[in-house]
Amino acid sequence: MEIIRNLARRKLRSTLTVLGIVIGIFALTTMGAMAAHFNALLDGGVKYFGSSIQIGPPDGQASILPMSKVDELKRVDGVDAAFPGYGFAAKPGEAATISFGIPDTIVSHDPAEDRYAAIKTTYAQGHDLTATSRGEVVLGSSIANELKKNVGDSIDLPVRPKDAKPDFVNHTFTVVGVLDPTRTAPDNLASISILDAQMLFKESLPVAIRDTIDTTTVAQSIVVFGKPGTSLAELDRIAGRINQQVNGVKATKPSDLVNSFKAGGATFTAITTAAAVLALVIGGLSVVNTMIMAVTERFREIGLKKAVGAHTGHILREYLLEATLIGFLGGAIGYALGVGLTNLLNLAGKSSNLELFLITPTLTVIALGFAVALGALAGVIPAFRAARLDPVTALRTTN
């Protein structure tokens, strides 16, 4: 109680000090939430690309692979399954901006692939596609929310751009499932059957060659899986074998993709650390300053407490607690402001698929823990000064 009243003694000074911590922790929370969002996104990439091998055309060739390669790939030692893949922009013609997430994409999906998926998806509504389903789509949580679709609704895919040319074609699909949020790629995917994807693929080809290609015999890419649980190193070796044994395709080593995702994650972690250091410098120094001034002003009180029986430890504890309280107050306010702002921004960005922030329990613990630790740490020097005061000198100080 006395500690709180002591803070209230110099209201302006205490407020400014708390504000220093508020700014630091606010920065830490918002930057941390942004880093957490990207790390979740990148973790998805690490999981997905760390558990599969991406097969594309050899360097410099167009992205069309004969379907026969699927069977060829399955014969390579260590390959357990291979699926043809197709992908299209869900909203073609949308201005190409630097995106903070994965753009909405229509992808082909074979239910048999679920067995191998590293990112397990669950259904908020409805169910999965079947291997032979036609005209059905499963939407990720973000795209469903953005397009305001629920199970049973109809949706035209790809979404017709405002300035669509007369020959623009799309098809009506029925939403049969909506996924729970994963905070990574599946949130932005509209999954359709391979047969439907082949139809869209055909329509995406230039008119001049459209009728010369049977799209049921080609794929845009192929994804290969080892047995569930195959290690990254083993997948790398399988990729090597594919490149040696199968002509006309190029397998990317999963570890290369994983490393590039991890490098991205490291950048965001560095940003968070920078924000934390900023908080440390600004907030910490202002707490040190305030506490030193408080100790100096209260020399006589400290002397009196020692005269009436306080030990060095008592005084040390009181001043450390006061500094910690400043840290906690600043941390709690800064964190609350950070959560408020990130939620507001996420809400504002929801309709345009621009959710940038993710408040995780770890971030909460870090932000509040950091503020408290910072306060305590900043209080150490002033508290020691107070605790080691000679009572005789302290009692006779004239302020």
Partner 1 sequence: MADIELVELTKHYRQGKTVVRALDGVSLRIGSGEFVSVVGRSGSGKTTLLDLVGLLLRPTSGKVLVDGQDTTRLKDGQRADLRGQRIGFIFQEYNLLPTLNVLENVLLPLRYTKSTVQDDRGRALELIEAVGLGDRIKHRPDELSGGQQQRVAIARALINRPALVLGDEPTGGVDTQTSQELVGLMRWLNREENVSFVIVTHDLELAGQADRMIRLKDGQVLTDEPVEHAA
The C-alpha atoms of residue 88 and residue 123 are separated, in whole angstroms, by 23
Buried b / exposed e over 292-304, threshold 16 CB at 10 Å, is bebbeebbebbbe
Q: State in angstroms the smallest separation of the CB of 332 from partner 1.
A: 22
Q: 222 Cβ partners below 8 Å, 6+ apart?
A: 55, 65, 69, 70, 73, 82, 83, 84, 85, 249
Stretch that binds partner 1, among 47-55, 249-257, 297-305, 331-339 (CB under 8 A): 297-305
Among 307, 344, 348, 365, binds partner 1 (CB under 8 A): 307
Q: Does 131 bind partner 1 (CB under 8 A)?
A: no
Q: Does 12 bind partner 1 (CB under 8 A)?
A: no
Stretch that binds partner 1, among 135-143, 200-208, 221-229, 389-397 (CB under 8 A): 389-397
**Between 48 and 319, whose beta carbon lies closer to partner 1?**
319
372 close to 327: Cβ distance less than 8 angstroms: yes
Q: Does 156 bind partner 1 (CB under 8 A)?
A: no
Q: Does 304 bind partner 1 (CB under 8 A)?
A: yes
Among 300, 349, 360, 380, binds partner 1 (CB under 8 A): 300
The C-alpha atoms of residue 352 and residue 188 are separated, in whole angstroms, by 12
Distances (CA, A) of 369 to 29, 53, 366: 12, 41, 5
- Neighbouring CB atoms inside 10 A of 175's CB total 21
Stretch that binds partner 1, among 161-169, 191-199, 245-253, 298-306 (CB under 8 A): 298-306
- Would you say the C-alpha torsion 132, 133, 135, 139 has a positive or negative sign? negative
Q: Does 320 bind partner 1 (CB under 8 A)?
A: no
Q: Does 303 bind partner 1 (CB under 8 A)?
A: yes
Q: Does 293 bind partner 1 (CB under 8 A)?
A: no
- Neighbouring CB atoms inside 10 A of 350's CB total 13
Q: Does 296 bind partner 1 (CB under 8 A)?
A: no
Residues in contact with partner 1 by the rule CB under 8 A: 2, 5-6, 8-9, 300-301, 303-312, 314, 391-392, 395
